[in-house]
Chain A
């Protein structure tokens, strides 16, 4: 199994499309950081405009933590797209290239083939999220330094002490790996159904965008179905930036996302084991 995973990782990282995600993050994160360097103070003033009459803010509020927090919020919809570029290609890419035939006639079970591909897809997902973490925290800290993190919520403003922030980012990025793995699993499922990677990429993104729109609309009907959409729980990384952290809600989100991963992967296994290879 380890050999199969290594081979799948080798195949993933030998394709140029794999590096699109890393490249996009390597470009967009510095751009956001420089934009914040130019306009960040204004944004911070705007965020805290209602409180400035009652409170005096001192210290380095525009810091690497704040910029990283902004980046995490703003890229939540875009990272799934980068993930589907690779995850949607994991199985469909073999069909397109015609390599299913040489792969499936090897003396290994289809279960092992599919598991190794999924694990390799998960590792790619984790690397991409870690790359985002390293880039956004690293560049943010280099340019702005560290300081207290100010988080504006509908319920009010929370200011976290400088030494109380880093572990929250670790938790948030860890959670992001889990939620992005749901995207990987969904794209992987679609990838098992078709013979071209474009289909899984578009289908996965369409589902995520529709679910996010449904969640964003303030309509009663949509409010009722929102708890049943996996995208609702993908943003639960924000729970790490509550004080105190609502662990019950966090664990519920983790369980629901893990359940979706199991469901999507299970469906893929069932489909793939019965699939006739005609390409």
Chain B
């Protein structure tokens, strides 16, 4: 049985006078995905998210969400979406509770005191429910943004930079929340973020866009495994290590040696065998650190265009 497509974008474009912000973009998000939406500043991420939420009208192309046309069935689609778009702004002269109550009422959500307090507790704002939002820090507004996106128990959650302004603890909490929503509540998440490590930790599929166009799209594990990665080996004797390597093909992969640290650029499947080779030749390996990350992959993909 084919996977259910939750978001399907085909040939989506948006022009602002001379500027083509999004150019023939295609992407597909399947049910249950935590979908990472990546791109450098000005790549067209926010414009795309705004089009997915009907804040901006596309110049061209088609958006289907829950297998329905967004243009024709906007209201029934939005009922099932929760979202944060860029920085979360609220009615500053109202309390956090009242903001959620108002927004929930418009969405037709359960706005009972218990439900609102439950959601506020989930994002750690239950003790500030009565405070006016204008007294909130950016991080607190970000948490409130998450709360409003979850209030009506949506099937699809679109988060645009959800951890901006949060401290490391807050970032971890949001990351855990995303994983909880995906694994335990079977939600589909569309996650745009500049913090690539964060996406790497939570996303199962991703897209990298640049200049409004798809660069790559696919499973995170597959995309990150298609090329070589940097690996740092910390050994007790780098001279000995270098000399035994000269007898092997690993020499070609060796990039640099700094003190007792050897940095290789190699296929991931060769890491274990190299480690074994060192050990068998009485070289003590104290650490193997893979440094190739999404960040490196991202830079490689986006630099191609630049």
B78 proximity list for chain A (CB < 8 A): 105-107
Q: Does B56 contact A (CB under 8 A)?
A: yes
Given contacts A105-B55, A107-B75, contact A7 B93 (CB under 8 A): no
Residue among A4, A98, A105 with the most chain B CB within 10 A?
A105
Given contacts A101-B86, A102-B148, A107-B76, contact A277 B56 (CB under 8 A): yes
CB pair A102–B54 under 8 Å, yes or no, is no
CB pair A3–B106 under 8 Å, yes or no, is yes
A277 proximity list for chain B (CB < 8 A): 50, 55-56
A99 proximity list for chain B (CB < 8 A): 89-91
| Per-residue contact bits, chain A 92-114, to B (CB 8 Å; 1 contact, 0 not) | 00000111111111111100000
- Looking across the interface, which residue of chain A has its beta carbon closest to that of B53? A105
A7 proximity list for chain B (CB < 8 A): 102, 105-106
For chain B, the count of residues having a C-beta within 8 Å of the partner chain is 31
Complex alpha-carbon distance, A195 and B253, angstroms: 57
CB proximity of A89 to chain B, nearest CB, Å = 12
In the A-B complex, the 7 residue pairs with the smallest Cβ-Cβ separation, listed nearest first, are A98-B89, A107-B78, A277-B55, A107-B79, A106-B106, A276-B56, A101-B85
What is the interface of chain B mostly: helix, strand, loop, or mixed?
Answer: loop
Q: Does B107 contact A (CB under 8 A)?
A: yes
B76 proximity list for chain A (CB < 8 A): 107
A101 proximity list for chain B (CB < 8 A): 55, 85-86, 89
CB pair A104–B54 under 8 Å, yes or no, is yes
- Looking across the interface, which residue of chain B has its beta carbon closest to that of A6? B105
For chain A, the count of residues having a C-beta within 8 Å of the partner chain is 24
| Per-residue contact bits, chain A 1-27, to B (CB 8 Å; 1 contact, 0 not) | 001100100110011000000000000
B148 proximity list for chain A (CB < 8 A): 102
CB proximity of B198 to chain A, nearest CB, Å = 22
A100 proximity list for chain B (CB < 8 A): 55
CB pair A102–B90 under 8 Å, yes or no, is yes
CB proximity of A92 to chain B, nearest CB, Å = 14
B85 proximity list for chain A (CB < 8 A): 101-102, 105
Complex alpha-carbon distance, A103 and B90, angstroms: 10
Complex alpha-carbon distance, A15 and B50, angstroms: 29
Beta-carbon contacts under 8 Å, A265-279 to B: 274, 276-278
- Looking across the interface, which residue of chain A has its beta carbon closest to that of B75? A107
Q: Does B224 contact A (CB under 8 A)?
A: no
CB proximity of A112 to chain B, nearest CB, Å = 9
- Looking across the interface, which residue of chain B has its beta carbon closest to that of A274? B57
Beta-carbon contacts under 8 Å, B41-97 to A: 50, 53-57, 74-79, 81, 83, 85-94
